[in-house]
Structure 1
Amino acid sequence: MTTLTDRPNTALLVIDVQNGVVEGAHDREAVIANINTLIGKARAADVPVVWIQHSADDLPQGSDQWQYVGELERQEPEPLIHKLYGDAFEATDLEQVLGERAVGRLVVTGAQTDACIRSTLHGAFTRGYDAILVSDAHTTEDLSAYGAPPPGQVIAHTNLYWSFQSAPGREAGTVETAEVSFPGA
């Protein structure tokens, strides 16, 4: 259904599941376990797994905080996209990587729900991609001290509004890990 012509394939995005991003994240262990399950499903179906890794002042490249969590393991030649902005498409080669693989449908996981997950979902959708959020495979930290709702509510709200996202010729929505199936699996 994507509006991108000649892009029938699907990719799994694993966004910013880095030590410094998820160390205090809501339901961290369950979310990482679900992401691992999805990675296994994608690999079994020969679906590209694309890793996104954020850099910032508090996540300097090469630091322990910047590294992906030990529970997840990227394999060669799975693409790794380095980014500086919330939207993984901004100033990166993500679009090129997806285009080379004829990807028009994205299954999105990772952190943080209220920042890079939302930004990338919207960035993908406005660029013509189908964008599916795995409802139990994204997380965020508690930012309620700054006026945000508790993390469980942030996640629930994001799942709610993304399940109703729509636009001509594109598919959006949410799905639980157990319900995700990749073509060829």
Structure 2
Amino acid sequence: MTTLDNRPNTALLVVDVQNGVVDDAYERDAVVANIGGLVGRARREGVPVVWVRHSDEELVQGSEEWRIVDELRPDDAEPIVEKSYGDSFEDTDLEKILAERGIGRLVVTGAETDACIRSTLHGALVRGYDATLVGDAHTTGDKTAWGAPSPEQVIAHTNLYWRFQLAPGRRGGTVETSEVDFRG
């Protein structure tokens, strides 16, 4: 249903699964394993995998914290989008990469749920993409000290509200890893 012309393809988007982002994240190992399974499946099915990596004062490029976790290895042919804002589209070459591959639908995984995942989902939808969130393949850290809900509640709420996201000619949606259909 994407509103982007000539964009029939789907990509798996892996956002900010970096050491300094997910080290203390909620259910880190299970989420990383689910993402790893999806990456393997996407590769076997010929679905493009696009990686996103954040950098800022705490995630300095080239540092151990900035690196993608050891369990996940981008293939040399898979693009890595470098970003410094929450929305993976903002001031990056993500749109160009997706356009070159005819991608109009994104299957979104990664971290952090209440920051870069939500920003990227909304960024995709307003730019004309269909954006499916994989409900058990995203995570966040504990921000309850600053008044936020628990990570479990943040993840559950995001899964709930994204399940029903619609815009003219576009849709969101939430599925579990076992329900991902890269064909649409």
TM-score range, shorter chain: over 0.9
Asked if 1:80 is matched to 2:80, the reply is yes
What TM-score does the superposition give when structure 1 sets the normalisation length? 0.98
Q: Is the 8 A contact 1:45 1:183 kept in 2?
A: no
Letter in 2 for 1:32: V
The answer for unaligned runs of 5 or more in structure 2 is none
Report SS of the residue matched to 1:153.
helix
Determine the C-alpha separation between the residues in 2 that align with 1:79 and 1:107.
16
Task: Give 1:134 shift.
Answer: 0.1
Task: Give 1:182 shift.
Answer: 2.0
Per-residue CA deviation, residues 132-159 of structure 1 (Å, 9 max, x unaligned), is 0000000000000000000000000000
Asked if 1:156 is matched to 2:156, the reply is yes
Asked if 1:121 is matched to 2:121, the reply is yes
Q: After TM superposition, what 4+ stretches of structure 1 lie above 6 angstroms from structure 2?
A: none
Report SS of the residue matched to 2:42.
helix
Please report the RMSD computed on the Cα atoms of aligned residues, expressed in angstroms. Answer: 0.9
Alignment correspondent of 1:142: 142
Determine the C-alpha separation between the residues in 2 that align with 1:4 and 1:165.
18
- The within-5 A match list for 1:166-185 is 166-183=166-183
The answer for unaligned runs of 5 or more in structure 1 is none
Task: Give 1:34 shift.
Answer: 0.3
Asked if 1:23 is matched to 2:26, the reply is no
Q: What is the count of residue pairs matched by the alignment?
A: 184
Per-residue CA deviation, residues 143-180 of structure 1 (Å, 9 max, x unaligned), is 00000000000000000000111111112100000011
Determine the C-alpha separation between the residues in 2 that align with 1:76 and 1:66.
18
Alignment correspondent of 1:57: 57
Report SS of the residue matched to 1:78.
coil
Determine the C-alpha separation between the residues in 2 that align with 1:180 and 1:89.
23
Alignment correspondent of 1:109: 109
Task: Give 1:181 shift.
Answer: 2.3
Task: Give 1:25 shift.
Answer: 0.1
Asked if 1:68 is matched to 2:76, the reply is no
